[in-house]
Chain A
Amino acid sequence: MPKKQFKVVFNRERCKGCELCKSFCPKKLIEMDTQVNARGYCPAMMTDQTQCIGCQSCALVCPDGAIAIYEEE
C-alpha cells in the first residue's frame, strides 16, 4: 500500500497564534507566519506537507477550530 498523504489546512483568520499546534506536532512541521492576520496574530502554517503522518495532534489541541485535516485519495 502506498504511504498515506495528508493535507493540513489552517484557517488563517481563526488562528490566534497560540503555538499549541506547533509545540505538539511530533514531526515539527508547523511554524508561525511572520505576516499577521486581520486580528493581529501570527498564524500557524505548514512547512512540509508531505511529512505529515495525519496524527491529528495539532487539531486536537487547537482551541480555535483553525485546523482541518484531509487524506489525499
Chain B
Amino acid sequence: MKPVFEYTKGMTDAITSYCPGCTHGVAHRLIMETLDEMGLLGKAIGVAPIGCSVVAHQFMNVDMCESAHGRSPAIASGIRRVHPDKVVFTYQGDGDLASIGMGEIMHAAARGEKFSTFFINNCIYGMTGGQMAPTTLIGQRSTTSVDGRTREQAGMPLKMCEILSTLDGPSYIERVALDSPAHIRAAKKAVRKAIEYQLAGKGFTFVEFLSICPTNWGLTPPKAMEWLRENMIPYYPLGVYKDEEAQDNGDK
C-alpha cells in the first residue's frame, strides 16, 4: 500500500495537550510538514509562547526555546542574528502577540528581522479560561465581556495583518483560515512562502491563522468551524497583505 497521507515526522509522537478539535494541532502540523518537506527540521529553531501552545516544544520536532509572554519576537531576533544560517520562527497566540507582546512584534517587524511569525488568532485568551483578547469580535461573549464585546468599552478588534503591512520591514504577510480542507491546503502554501522568503534573506514574514477555540467559545468543533467562517472571515479578510517579491516585479 502506498502512503497518501501520514502524520509528519516533524511532529513528535506525543499526544498534544490541546482540547479535542483545537486547530492549534492543525497549525502545528502545517508548519512542521513544511519544514520537513523542505529538509529543514535540523536547521529550524522555534520560539514557543505563553498560551495553550506554551507546550509546543513538546510537539514540534525541532529545536525550540520558550519565551516570556509576548516576548518571542525579541528572542527570535537575537537567535536569527546570531545564527543567520538557521530558520527561525515564533508561534504566538492573539493574546500573546496582540496584547502583552504588541511592542515586541511591532518593532521586530519594523526592523525587518529575518524570522517568520506564525500567529494563531482564535479571538480569545484560551489558556487562562476565555477572557477577551484584542482580537475578540464585537458582540462576542467572553468571561470579561459577558454580554458581548462593545466598541464603546473596548474599541474595535485589532487586525494584525493590516497593521503590520503599514511597516516597511515585513517582506510577506498573509492571513489564512483553518476552517476547511481547502483553506488548510492554502494555509500550508502561505507557510511555505514565509519560510522561502526567510531562506532568501528577505525581511520579516508573518502568517495569521484564523483558528478555533471550541472549549472557550462553548461550541462543538464542527460548529466552531462554522462560527469562524461566518464571523471571523468577514471581519478578518483572508489574503496576501504584503508581498515584497510581487511589489518588486510590479515596479519593473
Chain A positions near chain B (C-beta within 8 angstroms): 6-7, 13-14, 16-20, 22-24, 39, 41, 54-57, 59-65, 67-73
- Nearest-CB residue, chain B, relative to A22: B222
The A-contacting residues of B in range 8-66, CB under 8 angstroms, are: 8, 11, 15-16, 18-26, 29
| A69: min CB distance to chain B, Å | 4
Chain B positions near chain A (C-beta within 8 angstroms): 1-8, 11, 15-16, 18-26, 29, 180-181, 184-185, 214, 220-222, 225
Other A-B pairs, 19, CB within 8 Å; known A65-B7, A69-B5: A7-B1, A13-B15, A16-B21, A19-B220, A19-B222, A39-B15, A60-B184, A61-B181, A63-B18, A63-B21, A63-B22, A63-B25, A63-B29, A64-B15, A64-B25, A68-B5, A69-B3, A72-B1, A73-B1
Contact check, A60 vs B222: say whether CB atoms are below 8 A apart.
Answer: no
B26: chain A residues within 8 A (beta carbon): 60-63
- Nearest-CB residue, chain A, relative to B18: A63
B20: chain A residues within 8 A (beta carbon): 16-18, 41
* Separation of A71 and B3 alpha carbons in the complex (Å): 6
Contact check, A63 vs B24: say whether CB atoms are below 8 A apart.
Answer: yes
Contact check, B4 vs A54: say whether CB atoms are below 8 A apart.
Answer: yes
Q: How many A-B residue pairs have CB under 8 A?
A: 80
* Separation of A69 and B1 alpha carbons in the complex (Å): 9
| A8: min CB distance to chain B, Å | 9
B7: chain A residues within 8 A (beta carbon): 65, 68
Contact check, A23 vs B2: say whether CB atoms are below 8 A apart.
Answer: no
Contact check, A65 vs B11: say whether CB atoms are below 8 A apart.
Answer: yes
- Nearest-CB residue, chain B, relative to A59: B5
Residue from A13, A16, A19 whose CB has the most chain B CB atoms within 10 Å: A16
Partner of B5, one of A18, A39, A56: A56
| B17: min CB distance to chain A, Å | 11
A59: chain B residues within 8 A (beta carbon): 5
* Separation of A15 and B18 alpha carbons in the complex (Å): 12
| B31: min CB distance to chain A, Å | 13
Partner of A18, one of B1, B21, B184: B21
Contact check, A69 vs B4: say whether CB atoms are below 8 A apart.
Answer: yes
* Separation of A59 and B222 alpha carbons in the complex (Å): 15
Contact check, B225 vs A6: say whether CB atoms are below 8 A apart.
Answer: no
B15: chain A residues within 8 A (beta carbon): 13-14, 39, 64
